[in-house]
Amino acid sequence: MFGCIVEKIELMLIIRKMRKVVGILILGLLSVNTYSQYPFTINLNTKTLSGRMIYLNIMNNDDFIPVRRDSARIENGHHKFTGQIGQMSSIVEFSIKGSGRYNQIKSVIDSGQNNINIELVNEQYRTLQLTSDAKGSRIYEEMTNIFESKANSHRVDGLYKLPTGLITGILWDQLKALRKYPDDYGSLLYLYNIGRTGYTVDIAKGILETFDLYSPALKNSALGKKLYQDKSDLISSTFGAKIGAPARIFNVNDIEDKPFTNASFEGQNYLIVFSATWCLPCQLQLPKLKEIYQDYKDKGLKVIYFNNDADVQRWKKHVATNNLTWVNVSERMKPAVSKIQKSFGVFAIPTCLLVNKDGMIVYNSDQMDTGLDQLDAYVKKVFLH
């Protein structure tokens, strides 16, 4: 099965140039799918929330940001919400307010009728319990139960502290369960959700293997096409950022909003550092990076320091406060949206890449040295050759 997936990815890479020709047509088709509207009705029933306000957020399936907000006071234990969603199913969030805080519970609604029951099962903690007859909701509940069955023993003071191995195991269990629902859009929706949390190549391959079992209708949906594209790009870009691979050429604007490209550093040794002003580990690594830069800049070391954030003013203040005199660049996008960072297969920050004068990646902190303990030795080595 994986062999089939790899062949598909290789074919995708070969015809990349052809996509430029048919790009307008593809975008047009995606637009038709994306902007289709599906009417829904939520028949909300409750025995414990009459007279209270309930709030509804309907999420965008692409990034799970609310695209519609609604609220109502429940009278006589019932309220009906109606409207339209952009795809056949959508993640939703219900919440109630108390003592200045909101307590939420997530679920999935399908197009058409959704009969949902919500109860307040603990007034002190405002714990909500939800049941629904929507198939997408039942799939979402099954995935949640898989998570909680293994994660609850690692919950401390209301927060999950999960070992990496446990998280990976949970994701694989969820992928296996989703294969039982190859024809349901709610299954595709949760598969896409896993793709946003599981960034390893193995998980990406598992997602594509599961996706390969889905019906043609799901594969050809806007969300299905996006899922396939994202995971295929992740696999190809991750291999592209491995040690021994040539550094990808990119174009981005610097802190003065002037164009910059790493192609201008051809024949030189340089670091690419993916960071963010809001990232505490990034700030902890900053003194070590500045020290290495001071030690080697007279020998020709360059640094391209990416800020993974859309807050330009905070970024400029950060650069000035820390006296960062190297090349400071940013795509000026919200976290996790950066196209350049993803093109290098980087999905966690901080990550530091060392590119030698031949344009080859010779060091990747994310793959071998997250604490940058070996970086000085590698920088020294490239200047000895």
pLDDT recorded at residue 37: 85
Mean pLDDT lowest among 8-22, 216-230, 232-246, 283-297: 8-22
Q: Are residues 22 and 106 in the same domain?
A: no
Which of the four pLDDT bands, split at 50, 70 and 90, describes residue 2? Answer: very low
Mean pLDDT lowest among 87-91, 159-163, 301-305: 159-163
Q: Are residues 259 and 358 in the same domain?
A: yes
Q: Report pLDDT digits (tens) over 356-375.
A: 999 999 999 987 888 899 99
Cβ neighbours of residue 253 under 8 Å, at least 6 residues apart?
259, 260, 329, 330, 332
Query: Is residue 298 in some structural domain?
Result: yes
Q: Are residues 19 and 117 in the same domain?
A: no
State the average pLDDT for the chain: 85
Q: Are residues 299 and 345 in the same domain?
A: yes
Cβ neighbours of residue 326 under 8 Å, at least 6 residues apart?
293, 302, 303, 304, 305
pLDDT recorded at residue 7: 41
User: What is this structure's pTM?
Assistant: 0.59
Which range marks the domain in which residue 277 is found?
Answer: 251-384
Q: What is the 3-class SS of the chain, one letter each residue?
A: CHHHHHHHHHHHHHCHHHHHHHHHHHHHHHHHHHCCCEEEEEEEECCCCCCCEEEEEEECCCCCCEEEEEEEECECCEEEEEEEECCCEEEEEEEEEECCEEEEEEEEEECEEEEEEEEEEECCCCEEEEEECCHHHHHHHHHHHHHHHHHHHHEECCEECCCHHHHHHHHHHHHHHHCCCCCCHHHHHHHHHHHHHCCCHHHHHHHHHHHCCCCHHHHCCHHHHHHHHHHHHHHHHHHHCCCCCECCCCEEEECCCCEEEHHHHCCCCEEEEEECCCCHHHHHHHHHHHHHHHHHHHHCCEEEEEECCCCHHHHHHHHHHCCCCCEEEECCCCCCCCHHHHHCCCCCCCEEEEECCCCEEEEEHHHHCCCCCCHHHHHHHHHHC
Highest mean pLDDT among 188-202, 211-225, 334-348: 211-225
Whether 345 shows a pLDDT value over 80: the answer reads no
pLDDT recorded at residue 124: 66
Instruction: Report the share of the chain in percent with pLDDT over 70.
Output: 86
Whether 376 shows a pLDDT value over 90: the answer reads yes
Q: Report pLDDT digits (tens) over 61-116.
A: 877 788 899 999 999 999 999 999 988 999 999 999 866 677 889 999 999 999 99
Q: Which residue has the higher pLDDT, 346 or 193?
A: 193
Q: Are residues 351 and 379 in the same domain?
A: yes
Say which CATH number the domain at 346 has: 3.40.30.10
Query: Is residue 312 in some structural domain?
Result: yes
Phi, psi of 51 (to 5 degrees): 85, -5
Cβ neighbours of residue 15 under 8 Å, at least 6 residues apart?
none
CB 264 within 8 A of CB 270: no
What is the sign of the dihedral through the CA atoms of 212, 64, 107 and 88? negative
Q: Report pLDDT digits (tens) over 112-129.
A: 999 999 999 876 666 889
CA dihedral 84, 88, 91, 93 (to 10 degrees): 30
CA dihedral 157, 161, 162, 163 (to 10 degrees): -140
Q: Tell me the β-bridge partners of 115.
A: 43
Q: Are residues 257 and 373 in the same domain?
A: yes
Query: Is residue 144 in some structural domain?
Result: no
Total domains in the chain come to: 3
Q: Are residues 285 and 378 in the same domain?
A: yes
Within 13 A of 280's CA, how many CA atoms are on the CB side?
0
pLDDT recorded at residue 309: 86
Which of the four pLDDT bands, split at 50, 70 and 90, describes residue 240? Answer: low
CB 73 within 8 A of CB 53: yes
Q: Are residues 42 and 128 in the same domain?
A: yes
Q: Are residues 202 and 303 in the same domain?
A: no
Q: Among the three residues 240, 263, 293, which one is the final residue of a domain in this structure?
A: 240
**Alpha carbon separation from 81 to 58, 94, 243 (Å, rounded):** 11, 12, 54
Query: Is residue 92 in some structural domain?
Result: yes
Q: Are residues 198 and 81 in the same domain?
A: no
Within 13 A of 13's CA, how many CA atoms are on the CB side?
13
Say which CATH number the domain at 56 has: 2.60.40.10
Q: Are residues 26 and 84 in the same domain?
A: no
Q: Among the three residues 240, 267, 293, which one is the final residue of a domain in this structure?
A: 240
Q: Tell me the β-bridge partners of 355.
A: 270, 361
Phi, psi of 259 (to 5 degrees): -60, 140
CA–CA separation, 168 and 151 (whole Å): 12
Q: Are residues 332 and 235 in the same domain?
A: no
* 330-336 mean pLDDT: 83
CA–CA separation, 5 and 211 (whole Å): 10
